Structure 1
Amino acid sequence: MVQNENVYIQILSLNANLALQEEQDSLQISDARVSNTFTLDLCLMPNLQRLFLINNKIEELHISDNCINDRNPIHQLPSEYFTNLANLYLSHSNLLTLSYSLTVKSTSLQVLSMTNIPMFRNLSDNITFDLSRLSLLFLSENGMIDFPKITAPDLDSLDLSKNEIKFLTQEVFQGIPRIRYIDLSSNHIKSITRDTFATSIYIRELNLENNQIHHISESAFINQRGGFILRLGNNHLVSILPSSLPVLSRTVYLDPNPWNCDCESTSIKRWLLLSGVNLYQCMNPLYLRNMSLVSLNETDLCHDEYGDFKSTETQTSLSMPSGVNRILCSYCLKSSWALLLSSYFSLSELS
């Protein structure tokens, strides 16, 4: 282990400023009076596994790696020494463990980026985040199966996209009561219960795109108001009730989904019209495919009730929206009147 104490540096490049051996696996920097940014360039240190930053004034740490097709080699980072650090960027590193603990704890961190780190895939237990001043947290592409336990009362933005999270419960949001932006896209979430976001009243944007959601309970977003943005595209939704959506929100994005447009869709159609949301493209039945729900009326949606054609392979070409039917019927009526008048005059001439 190489120790470097009492160094006055603004930016530290390990391969340039310190005489480090290529085979070195540990580095400890103590009492580093760095006023702002601390950058570690690890290209020439392929064996470095443990980094210890003890009793320092570092405010921002970047673990950088400019080597082509190679990620940062650090395997262990002692989180208990994060006493003054405000911004920590560890994304796309080979970090495998946090020494001594499975808790990332700090009273100074405000930004933490831990995207695509093997540590989350190798641990049997979830890592806990206890970060009293944290504002931004990036945890995407980590293969997480469970929503991590986060205690961060000031957290504003959370990115958990591209993981493998399947379930959401109300409890996972209790430690982040003021969260405003959540990205849960590209996970394996299958349903949203009415309690999941009940206490998350400050959410401004929620991204649930590219999941496997097939059901959203009533009142699931009843507490989200005032310009709340909800993204639900590329899920498995075939129907949805207006009571499952925010009240008259213009910023709900529903497409694409395999929507079924039938008589039960009339209530969501009214919600769409009142909210000003036009995108709700039908997938089934076949004769309504790619048509917007708001462009259809009840005779298009309720075939059985109105005695219209039913969709079959042989009748698909005959079935058409009622707007077209009305034009044809109007033409038929005019033709019938013309025939009646012609017959009347013919009879008059004969008499």
Structure 2
Amino acid sequence: MSTYQVTMWKLVIACLAWIVTVVISQSTTTQCDAYSNLSGTYYNCSSRGYRSVPMNIPYKAEIVILKNNFIKQVRSNSFVTLTNLHSLDLSNNRINTIQISAFLGLNNLQMLNLSGNNLVFLMPELFRPVRSLETLILSHNRIENIQAELLKDLVQLTTLDLSNNRIKVIHDNTFYDLVHLQELYLQSNSISTLTDKTLNGLLDLELLYLTRNKLVSISSEFKELTRLKFLDLGNNFITTIDKDAFGNFGRLTELGLENNNLSSVPKAVGKSASLQLTLRELYLGNNPIREISGSSFGRFTYLEDLQLDHMKLSELSLDAFKGMPKLRHLWLNSNKLKTIQKESIIPLRHLLKLYLDENYWNCDCSLFGLLQYLDQHPELATEKVIPCHTPLVRVGEPITKVLELSCDLESENFFSRSSSETPKEMTKKDALLVAIPTTFVMTIMLLAVLCLTTLSAKKWLQSSVKNKQLSGQPQLRRYNHQRHQRPQREHSKNYGIEVQAYATLEPPEPSPLPTRKTLQPYAYAYIDKRGSMQATVNLH
């Protein structure tokens, strides 16, 4: 046999093996469901255990569903006979390879779903046979790069979903030919930068998702998106936004900037003249913003929802929301607010819900006005019980307990409704101001009592010792005078006889000498002018 014949035989055997494999796989699978309705003729082969695209799909099928199978590869000409097909669902398989002519013959295809597969790379000419495609879903794959040539021929595309991939960079003019694209989903990727030309050509774009990426700053990337209505930039790392970044938005109704690193309300938002006329929903939650002042926002005529939760707000000015007459929902929960003046909320006449839980509420009279207003408008409150954070006597109690107190709102002093209660609620600071001086005075008094007690005991002890010693020794002539100071005890020895004397600081006055008849043994002692002790002992 010649080499040519051997090669032919090998090809024949390979073809037979492939046919056998297909037949076996078809025989081990369950029959697909075929039915028709107003949407068209369906051929549903989802969750049937297919490992390849089935070959027995009716040529009249208009909607083919092959999701939730084990298909790994889509070969060329797999759908070449399905000329009526306008929707193809290949989601949630294991597809990692799509041959270049896989979609050949699908001239009327409008929707292609390839989400939930293992795609990493797509050949540039892959979608050339499906120029009529309107919806392309490539989400939840492993795509890292999108080439501009890949989407060049999809001029009728209105929806493109590239979310939940591994895209890091989008090249300039990638979407330039998608002049009819209205929805672009790029969330949950690793995009860190956008240039002025990244989104070129998207003149009809209305919805753009860029949430959960790695964007740090926004400048003029959206200058051509004049028809954009929805923009989600949440869950990024944005710290700065150029003041003119949103200047060309004339139709934007919803803007998401939550979960970023913004330290204040961007001027591109608060001072944007175009946004003030169109914006209806604004999400700024979970940013490290500490204060909302009257200058933070302009006059947002049609704003209905404002999210300011999970921030570091500690203060709201009285005119913080003065330019939002149609606000319906206001999220202020999970901040560091201690009080809110009712004047901040009263202008919001169309308010439906006010979220105030998880704050550091100080339950004193500064909060009374707001709670009184909410008590008059119970529809604004949520079902959650909001506890007090201070003062100590009210920690954990519902903030509505403040309504049980009578407050002088002008002086911000509140009084108990009961005459037996104290006139003024004592705060922790007031308690300390009272307790510290009181404790100091009581301590001084206690020390004084201890000193007096000690001195009295010592004097009594000295008196007892003196009386005991004098009772067994010769009498000493003592010269005590009222003006003399307390005597000091001295000891002297003369002629072997111990003499005890109580000497004063001044020399004693001389006493008359005793006569011989009355002369008795006695000791005479005094202190001379030099301060030394002199003693004389006379023996009878």
| Corresponding position of 2:93 | none
Q: Distance in 2 between matches of 1:44 and 1:208?
A: 35
Q: Tell me if 1:185 matches 2:282.
A: no
Q: Deviations over 1:98-135 (max 9, x none)?
A: 466366663201111111223x13x6856445422222
Judged with a 3 Å threshold, the aligned counterparts in structure 2 of structure 1 residues 146 and 97 are, in CA distance, closer, same or farther, namely: closer
Contact between 2:142 and 2:166, CA under 8 Å: does it hold in 1? no
Matched residue of 1:259: which SS? coil
Q: Distance in 1 between matches of 2:163 and 2:368?
A: 55
* Cα shift at 1:155: 1.4
Q: Tell me if 1:110 matches 2:206.
A: yes
| Corresponding position of 1:298 | 405
Q: Deviations over 1:171-230 (max 9, x none)?
A: 424332311111211111111121333321211111111011112222221232346210
* Cα shift at 1:307: 3.4
Task: Determine which of 115, 120, 136 is the counterpart of 2:230.
Answer: 136
Q: Tell me if 1:220 matches 2:320.
A: yes
Q: Tell me if 1:62 matches 2:161.
A: yes
* Cα shift at 1:143: 0.8
Task: Determine which of 189, 196, 205 is the counterpart of 2:305.
Answer: 205
Q: Distance in 1 between matches of 2:367 and 2:287?
A: 28
Q: Distance in 2 between matches of 1:171 and 1:131?
A: 15
Q: Deviations over 1:57-77 (max 9, x none)?
A: 211111156xxxx63466435
Question: Which is further off, 34-43 or 84-93?
Answer: 34-43
Task: Determine which of 423, 430, 433 is the counterpart of 1:307.
Answer: 423
Matched residue of 2:369: which SS? helix
Matched residue of 2:368: which SS? helix
| Corresponding position of 1:36 | 134
* One-letter amino acid of the counterpart of residue 133, structure 1: R
Q: Distance in 1 between matches of 2:315 and 2:89?
A: 52
Judged with a 3 Å threshold, the aligned counterparts in structure 2 of structure 1 residues 291 and 143 are, in CA distance, closer, same or farther, namely: same
Matched residue of 1:272: which SS? helix
* Cα shift at 1:247: 3.4
| Corresponding position of 1:92 | 188
| Corresponding position of 1:265 | 367
Aligned length: 302
Q: Distance in 1 between matches of 2:120 and 2:372?
A: 68
Matched residue of 1:194: which SS? coil
Please, what is the CA RMSD of the aligned residues?
Answer: 3.9
* Cα shift at 1:162: 1.1
Judged with a 3 Å threshold, the aligned counterparts in structure 2 of structure 1 residues 304 and 312 are, in CA distance, closer, same or farther, namely: farther
Q: Distance in 2 between matches of 1:86 and 1:207?
A: 26
| Corresponding position of 1:163 | 260
* Cα shift at 1:241: 1.3
Contact between 2:171 and 2:198, CA under 8 Å: does it hold in 1? no
* Cα shift at 1:35: 4.0
Q: Distance in 1 between matches of 2:219 and 2:123?
A: 26
Contact between 2:120 and 2:142, CA under 8 Å: does it hold in 1? no
Task: Determine which of 152, 155, 179 is the counterpart of 1:83.
Answer: 179
Judged with a 3 Å threshold, the aligned counterparts in structure 2 of structure 1 residues 147 and 289 are, in CA distance, closer, same or farther, namely: farther
* One-letter amino acid of the counterpart of residue 348, structure 2: V
Q: Distance in 1 between matches of 2:252 and 2:143?
A: 34
Contact between 1:106 and 1:132, CA under 8 Å: does it hold in 2? no
Q: Distance in 2 between matches of 1:214 and 1:95?
A: 34
Q: Distance in 1 between matches of 2:312 and 2:393?
A: 26
| Corresponding position of 2:250 | 153
* One-letter amino acid of the counterpart of residue 137, structure 1: L
Contact between 2:188 and 2:212, CA under 8 Å: does it hold in 1? yes
Q: Distance in 2 between matches of 1:42 and 1:18?
A: 21
* Cα shift at 1:267: 2.5
* Identical residues among aligned pairs (%): 20
* One-letter amino acid of the counterpart of residue 185, structure 1: G
Contact between 2:135 and 2:158, CA under 8 Å: does it hold in 1? yes
Judged with a 3 Å threshold, the aligned counterparts in structure 2 of structure 1 residues 192 and 34 are, in CA distance, closer, same or farther, namely: farther
Judged with a 3 Å threshold, the aligned counterparts in structure 2 of structure 1 residues 11 and 37 are, in CA distance, closer, same or farther, namely: farther
Q: Distance in 2 between matches of 1:175 and 1:228?
A: 21
Structure 1: runs of 5+ lacking an equivalent: 1-7, 316-351
Matched residue of 1:175: which SS? helix
Judged with a 3 Å threshold, the aligned counterparts in structure 2 of structure 1 residues 45 and 107 are, in CA distance, closer, same or farther, namely: closer
Q: Deviations over 1:315-343 (max 9, x none)?
A: 8xxxxxxxxxxxxxxxxxxxxxxxxxxxx
Question: Which is further off, 158-167 or 221-230?
Answer: 221-230
Contact between 1:136 and 1:155, CA under 8 Å: does it hold in 2? yes
Matched residue of 2:330: which SS? strand
| Corresponding position of 1:256 | 358
* Cα shift at 1:50: 3.4
Bigger Rg, which one: 2
Structure 2: runs of 5+ lacking an equivalent: 1-82, 91-95, 103-118, 417-421, 432-540
Matched residue of 2:372: which SS? helix
* One-letter amino acid of the counterpart of residue 140, structure 1: G
Task: State the TM-score, normalized to the length of structure 2.
Answer: 0.48
Matched residue of 1:252: which SS? strand
* Cα shift at 1:268: 2.3
Comparing both chains, which one has the higher relative contact order based on Cα–Cα distances under 8 Å and sequence gaps of 6 or more? 1
Matched residue of 2:374: which SS? helix
* Cα shift at 1:235: 0.8
Q: Distance in 2 between matches of 1:266 and 1:45?
A: 57
Question: Which is further off, 134-143 or 262-271?
Answer: 262-271
Judged with a 3 Å threshold, the aligned counterparts in structure 2 of structure 1 residues 24 and 99 are, in CA distance, closer, same or farther, namely: farther
